[in-house]
Structure 1
Amino acid sequence: MKSLTKMSLATAAAVVVLNLSKPSPAAAPERPFAASVRDDGTLSVMTYNVKGLPFPLAYGRAEALGQIGERLRKLRRAGRQPDVILLQEAFIPEAKAIARQAGYAHVLLGPDVKDAAGSGPAADVSANKASWSRGETVGPQVDSGLVILSDHPIVKASRMAFSRTMCAGFDCLASKGVVIAWIAVPGRNALVAIADTHLNSRKASGVPIARANLAFSRQVAAIRGFLRRQVDPHTDLIVGGDFNIGQDAQRVLAARDLLAGGQEAVQAADCAPDQQADIAAIRARNKDKLYYRGRMRLRSLDVPLGNGTGEDAFSDHLGYVAHYQMS
C-alpha cells in the first residue's frame, strides 16, 4: 500500500470503500476462448503485482489493468499464456476482471475483510500503541488483493489472513495473507500446491522501519507455519508473490529458508538475451519472488509483458514467468 501524505486516513479509507462498492464499467465482457490447455509435462507460473489500487491511492488504473488483460489475452491467442498467474494488489474490480479478459477458467481469491476480522486484536507490533493516523486501528478496509488464475482445475484451496498483530502502518488497511490452490496438472497423478502472498511494505507503510520489519518477520513466520500445516512435505509446492524484501538486511535474513528445501526461481534461471535487463531489474529490486520445491525442474524465466528496459508500462512491478519441467 502506498503512503498517504495529503489526506486523512479516515477520508482515504472511506473513499476506498466507496470505490470498491461501485460497479466496474471497465470490467471485461465475457469472451469465448478456444481450449488452449497444454499437456506437455511442463508448468508455467507467473507472479505479478498489477497495482490494482483504488482511487485516490492510484490514478488511471482501469485503463492500465485493461491493457494487462489484453496483453495476456494476446499471449493466449499465441499459445504462450502462463498456466497459472499469481496476482497481487488486485483490489479493484478492473484488476479482478483480468482473469476473465485473459480467458482463465479457474479463479481463486485470497483472504477477504471478513477473514481478517477474526484474525486478532488491533495492531500492536511494537511497544508503542497502534497508530490511528497510519491505519493500524481502523481495521481492514479492502481484501487481500490476492488472486490465483489457472488454466488447470483448482481441486482445493486454503486461505489465511495475517493477524492484526502482524501488520504495520497503512498495510493494516488490507486483509493481507496467503492463499493456496492445489492444482491438477495434466498428465500428473499428484496435485501441485501453489501459494500467493503479499507481505508488509517497508517505507510505504508510513511507520518506522523497525516497526514495519517486525510485522514483516511475523508474517514470514506465519507463512512458514501455515505451509507446514496445510501442505504435505512430499507435495510439489510453489510459493510466489510480492515479498517486499528489497535490500533490507533484516528482511533478507528473516525470509531466508522461507520454504524448507526450496529454491528461488528468479535468482537461478536464465532468460532470453532481450529480457536480461528486465530480469536484472527484478533481481535488483528483490521483491517479486517464486520459490519452489519438489520433483519439478526449473527451465527458464520469461517476462512476457516487459519491454527489455527494466520498466513496466502497466504497473510499478514487472511480472515474470517461471517455466518448470514436471517429473
Structure 2
Amino acid sequence: MRKEGPHGVLQVTVDPGGAAMSFRAILQLILIAAMTMGPVAPVPSEYARPNTSQWPRRDDASLSVMNYNIKSLPWPIARGRAEAIDAIGKQLSLMRERGIQPHIVLLQEAFTDHAKAIAHAAGYRFVATGPASPSESAAPPLGFSYASAARWDRGEIGAGALDSGLMILSDYPIVRSRKIAFPAGACAGFDCLASKGILIAWIAVPGVSEPMAIVDTHLNARRATHVSESRADAANVWQLSRLHEIVMREVGSNAPAIFGGDTNVGQAHARKSAFARYPVLGPNAKNGLKIALADDAVPPRFEAEARSVLQRNKDMILSRNGERVSLRPVRAWIPFPLETASPLSDHTGILIAYSLRS
C-alpha cells in the first residue's frame, strides 16, 4: 500500500497496524528509565553551524548508502533527544545542498514522531518504515525453558511497547517493501520493549536493470538488556538465523542487495559464530567499510573512527552482487562521528559510496 504521509513524504507500507501503549508498558518504560537514564548532553555548536570544509567534495558515485542508529528513544527512557534529532535532519539537509547526501539512508531507533520527520527535514521523498508490533507464534520461539524465565521487570512479558524503530529513506522510488516482525518472546531484556524485526525495501536505482533490495534491522543488544549475557546472546543468535532465513526467502541468493543495521554482534563468540554461520546476504557479501579502508578510500581524518566501527562489529553496511548487477565500494566516510566531544547519538553514522555496473 502506498500513501502520502506527513509533509507529503511518500510512505510505502505492506502490513499496516500498530499497538496502543498499555499501562503495563508505560510502567516498564518508567522502570527502564530509572535504571538507565543519564545526564542530558547538550548539542555541540558545531552541529548548529557545521564546518562543511571537513566534508568531502561533491559525490559522483553511482550510489551512496548511510547507516545510523540515531538513539531516538522516547521520554522517559531518554531526555533531551529532540535537539539532537533536529541537528541530524539539518546536517543531512546541508549535505543535500552540497550534493553529497546519501541516496539511501537506513535508520535504527527512530521510535518517535520527531525522528520520523527526519525524512522531510532532509528532503527524502520515499520512505519505508518497519514493523509496528511483534508477530504471534504458536510456540515460544526460543523454547519453553527460555520463555518460562522471562522477567516482567526487564520488559520481557507483553507485546513491544515501541515499534521497530526501523526506517529506510530514499531519493529513488521504493517500488515495494516488506516488514517482518519477530514473534513476541524472540528477544531478551529491555530490548523486548521494541518490536524487533526486519525491513526490506526494493528501490529503483537509476541505471540498474532491476530493483535493488535494501535490508535494515536492529538485533538484540547484550549488556544493555540488563539480563544475563547468555540469555541476551541466545536471542541475538536466534534473530541472526531468522534474518538469514528471511532474506534468502524474500530476496533470494542471486539478486543485488545491500544490508545495513545495528547487528549488536560485537566480539561475543556466540554471536560472531552465528553471524558467520548465517551470513545475512550469503557468503559472498562485502563489508564496504573494510574494503574502503584496505583500498585507502577513507579520508585520513575518518580512518581512526572507521577502524573503531569495524572493531566494535555492530554497525555495518554489506553489499552483494546480482546476476546482472555488480556493486563495488569505492569510498567511505563518517558524516556523524561518535568519537567527538558531544556526538548526536551513541553510534557512528557511516556512509559507503558504490560504483554500479549493470
TM tier, smaller = 0.7 to 0.9
RMSD value over aligned CA atoms? 2.3
How many residue pairs get aligned? The number is: 296
Which residue in 2 is equivalent to 1:301? Answer: 332
Which of 111, 115, 118 matches 2:136?
118
**1:175 aligned to 2:195?**
yes
**Counterpart position of 2:292:** 269
User: How far 1:305 sits from its partner (Å)?
Assistant: 2.6
User: 1:262–1:73: structure 2 CA closer, same or farther, 3 Å change rule?
Assistant: same
Q: Partner residue of 1:194?
A: 214
Query: For residues 109-148 of structure 1, what are the structure 2 equivalents within 5 Å?
Result: 109-113=129-133, 116-119=134-137, 126-127=145-146, 128-148=148-168
Check conservation: 2:64, 2:352, Cα contact below 8 A. yes
Show the counterpart of 1:31.
none
- Tell me the residue number matched to 2:54: none
The answer to whether the Cα contact below 8 Å between 1:280 and 1:310 also exists between their aligned partners in 2 is no
Q: Could you say which residue in structure 1 is the equivalent of 2:275?
A: 255
Paired amino acid for 2:286 = Q
Regions of 4+ moved over 2 Å: 12-16, 38-41, 117-129, 309-312
Please say if residues 300 and 322 of structure 1, whose CA atoms lie closer than 8 Å, have aligned partners that are also in contact. Answer: yes
2:240 match: secondary structure: helix
Matching residue of 2:313 = 286
CA distance in 2, matches of 1:154, 1:124: 34
Inter-partner Cα distance in structure 2 for 1:304 and 1:41: 16
Counterpart residue number, 2:349: 319
Distance 2:252 2:141 in 1: 31
Shift of the 10–70 alpha-carbon distance from structure 1 to 2, 3 Å rule, reads closer
Identity of counterpart residues, as a percentage? 42
Report the TM-score, using the length of structure 2 for normalisation: 0.78
Distance, in Å, in 2 between the alignment partners of 1:119 and 1:134 is 21
Structure 1 pair 311/157, CA: closer, same or farther in 2 (3 Å)? Answer: farther
Q: Displacement of 1:153 after TM fit? A: 0.4
Distance 2:106 2:327 in 1: 18
In structure 2, the gaps of 5 or more residues are 1-23, 33-57
2:111 is aligned with what amino acid? F
Counterpart amino acid of residue 318 in structure 1: T
Q: Which residue of structure 2 aligns with residue 56 of structure 1?
A: 76
Instruction: Output the amino acid matched with 1:108.
Output: A
State the alpha-carbon separation in 1 of the partners of residues 138 and 179 from structure 2: 16
CA distance in 2, matches of 1:161, 1:119: 11
Distance 1:205 1:264 in 2: 27
Q: With structure 1 as the length reference, what TM-score do the two structures score?
A: 0.85
Q: Would the aligned equivalents of 2:28 and 2:155 in 1 still touch at CA under 8 Å?
A: no
Indicate conservation of the 8 Å contact 2:156/2:185, yes or no. Answer: no
Mean alpha-carbon deviation: is it higher for 271-280 or for 65-74?
271-280
Cα displacement string for residues 149-170 of structure 1 (whole angstroms, at most 9, x for unaligned residues): 0000000111111122321111
User: d(CA) in 2 for partners of 1:134 and 1:220?
Assistant: 22
Equivalent residues of 1:122, 1:137 under 8 A apart:
no
Q: CA shift at 1:233, angstroms?
A: 2.1
Do the aligned residues in 1 keep the contact of 2:156 with 2:188 (CA within 8 Å)? yes
Task: Give how far 1:280 is off.
Answer: 2.1
1:35-56 alpha-carbon deviations (Å, 9 max, x no partner): xxx9966111100000000012
Q: Distance in 2 between matches of 1:224 and 1:176?
A: 15
Cα 1:296/1:140, change in 2 over 3 Å: same
CA distance in 2, matches of 1:178, 1:200: 12
CA distance in 1, matches of 2:142, 2:337: 39
CA distance in 2, matches of 1:221, 1:185: 29
Letter in 2 for 1:293: R
Give the secondary structure class of the aligned counterpart of 1:104: coil
Q: Does 1:205 align with 2:225?
A: yes
